[in-house]
Amino acid sequence: MGIVVRDIYKRFGGFIAVDGVSFDVREGELVALLGPSGSGKSTILRIIAGLEIPDRGEIYLKRENVTALSPRQRKVGFVFQHYALFKHMTVEKNIAFGLEVQKRKRKDIEEKVRELIRLVKLEGYEGHYPSQLSGGQRQRVALARTLATEPSVLLLDEPFGALDAKVRDNLAKWLKELHVKLNITSVFVTHDQNEAIEISDKIVVINRGKVEQIGTAKDVYEHPNSKFVASFIGNVNVVDAVIKNGLIFIKDTDFEIIDRDIDVSVDRDIVLLVRPEDILVEKDSKQEGFPCMIQDVHYRGSFYEFNLCMGDTYIRSVKDKDDFLGKKWEKNQKAFVVFKQYKIFDASEGHWEIREKLRQLGYIE
């Protein structure tokens, strides 16, 4: 086992940030800690690194119990969310820092730094200061600095969080390649489910300081074992609906939803959670589609993203590129949507309260 986290607790004042978390990371694995903001991901990572001392529980690195060791002694690599580069040092000096404090031979240091600069593709930037670099370049310097000491495990706190989408995608793919190349046991924190799905071998879903589910991206996506996981992974749409006289309508419209599994005997408000990929967008209403208006269509590389508007309800849908070809989708065009799958939340308190409740549960961000 590369990393073993055993039943750790951490409270800040009266607030329990980490509440009995356990998980394992196998040698050479790339694991994502995925969860909403404030769920305790950073705290868990900092506990593994030794920057935070858990109130209870143990951390093992390579079978050794390191719970009582200082960050220095653990020999882990940690990449901070905001890079934490040494501002007064050049790129070269930053990367060499870990080796210099170990008093390695000058020649070895120079060689290693050169090698790392090549690895992170920063040739020509050796003499630059962090303030002269772009966000992505800074992140790569941070990574090189961490890799210089050849840590046995690599911990990354939202490594691409502060970057814009384009750079983030590239860097995420690059990190994955790097991980394959170096095969270093790694844990990275993210609140972006796509990032987690795309590059991790295993996902640990965290919610309110607890582990919700552990599994491969496929497991977690297709077989969520809790409502939270089901909705957190894959950006759900929230659609308000009402049950009236034994029929289900989307709120403020006369679009009817046919569902035999719902008890329609009592009039009440309900909320539907629909994943973007469970929404079918059609040009004409072959099936029982709801009429809607296309607000805009975004190109997303491998797929297209639709923003649609049904009455007063805005929803997001995705469509494969192949599916898209040959058809002309335009702004302000009429279309029809079908919900292939959805979850229903029942409440007598009204839409607003149930949305609040879903938000607290972490269903919607």
Partner 1 sequence: MKDNDVCIRPIRKQSHFIEYTLTFSVIIWFIILVMAPVYGILREVIRNGAGIFIDSISSPAAIHSFKLTFWITVTAIFINTIFGVMLALVFVKQDFRGKIFLEGLVDLPFAVSPVVAGFMFIMLFGPNGWLGSWFGSYNIKIIYALPGMVIATLFVTLPFVAREVMPVLAEYGIEQEEAAYILGASKWQTFWKVTLPSIKWGLVYGITLTFARSIGEFGAVLVVSGSIINKTQTATLHIHQQFTDFNYAGAFTASLILAVLSFSILIIMKCVYKRKEKGYRWA
Ligand X SMILES: Nc1ncnc2c1ncn2[C@@H]1O[C@H](COP(=O)(O)OP(=O)(O)OP(=O)(O)O)[C@@H](O)[C@H]1O
Which residues make up the interface to partner 1 (CB under 8 A)?
49-51, 70-72, 75-78, 80, 82, 84-88, 97-98, 101-102, 129-132, 145-146, 148-149
Binding site for Mg ion (CB under 5 A): 42
> Minimal distance in Å, beta carbon 361 to partner 1?
32
Q: 231 and 220 in contact (C-beta within 8 Å)?
A: no
From partner 1, Mg ion, ligand X, none, interface partner of 80 (C-beta below 5 to 8 A by class):
partner 1
Q: 217 and 226 in contact (C-beta within 8 Å)?
A: no
From Mg ion, partner 1, ligand X, none, interface partner of 76 (C-beta below 5 to 8 A by class):
partner 1
From Mg ion, ligand X, partner 1, none, interface partner of 86 (C-beta below 5 to 8 A by class):
partner 1
From ligand X, Mg ion, partner 1, none, interface partner of 106 (C-beta below 5 to 8 A by class):
none
From partner 1, ligand X, Mg ion, none, interface partner of 146 (C-beta below 5 to 8 A by class):
partner 1
> Minimal distance in Å, beta carbon 11 to ligand X?
9
Q: Which of residues 104 and 210 has its CB atom nearest to partner 1 in the complex? A: 104
**Alpha carbon of 41 to those of 76, 155, 210, 335: distances in Å?**
17, 11, 10, 41
Binding site for ligand X (CB under 6 A): 12, 15, 17, 35, 37-43, 191
In this structure, the strands spanning 56-61 and 237-244 are unpaired
From ligand X, partner 1, Mg ion, none, interface partner of 38 (C-beta below 5 to 8 A by class):
ligand X
| Rounded (10°) CA dihedral 291, 297, 299, 300 | -60
> Minimal distance in Å, beta carbon 359 to partner 1?
30
From partner 1, ligand X, Mg ion, none, interface partner of 183 (C-beta below 5 to 8 A by class):
none
Q: Which of residues 88 and 328 has its CB atom nearest to partner 1 in the complex? A: 88
Q: What are the helix (H) ranges across 50-164?
A: 71-74, 91-101, 106-119, 135-148
Give the angle subtended at the CA of 126 by the CAs of 124 and 128, to the nearest 5°. 100
Q: 305 and 238 in contact (C-beta within 8 Å)?
A: no
Handedness of CA 347, 352, 355, 361 (dihedral sign): negative
> Could you give the count of Cα atoms lying within 13 Å of 222 in the half-sphere of its Cβ?
4
Q: Which of residues 42 and 139 has its CB atom nearest to Mg ion in the complex? A: 42
Q: 79 and 191 in contact (C-beta within 8 Å)?
A: no
From ligand X, Mg ion, partner 1, none, interface partner of 131 (C-beta below 5 to 8 A by class):
partner 1
From partner 1, Mg ion, ligand X, none, interface partner of 136 (C-beta below 5 to 8 A by class):
none
> Minimal distance in Å, beta carbon 80 to Mg ion?
10
> Minimal distance in Å, beta carbon 50 to partner 1?
8
Q: Which of residues 207 and 317 has its CB atom nearest to ligand X in the complex? A: 207
> Minimal distance in Å, beta carbon 91 to partner 1?
12
Q: Which of residues 38 and 311 has its CB atom nearest to ligand X in the complex? A: 38
Q: Which of residues 146 and 237 has its CB atom nearest to partner 1 in the complex? A: 146
The helix-helix angle for 135-148 and 165-182 (nearest 10°) equals: 20
Q: Which of residues 129 and 324 has its CB atom nearest to partner 1 in the complex? A: 129
| Rounded (10°) CA dihedral 140, 141, 145, 148 | 60
d(CA 220, CA 339): 21
In this structure, the strands spanning 64-65 and 56-61 are antiparallel
> Minimal distance in Å, beta carbon 352 to ligand X?
24
> Could you give the count of Cα atoms lying within 13 Å of 122 in the half-sphere of its Cβ?
31
Q: Which of residues 6 and 93 has its CB atom nearest to partner 1 in the complex? A: 93
**Alpha carbon of 144 to those of 77, 124, 176, 248: distances in Å?**
10, 15, 15, 57
> Minimal distance in Å, beta carbon 264 to Mg ion?
43
> Minimal distance in Å, beta carbon 156 to partner 1?
12
Q: Residue 292: helix, strand or coil by DSSP?
A: strand
List the structure tokens of 144.
Answer: 């090189």
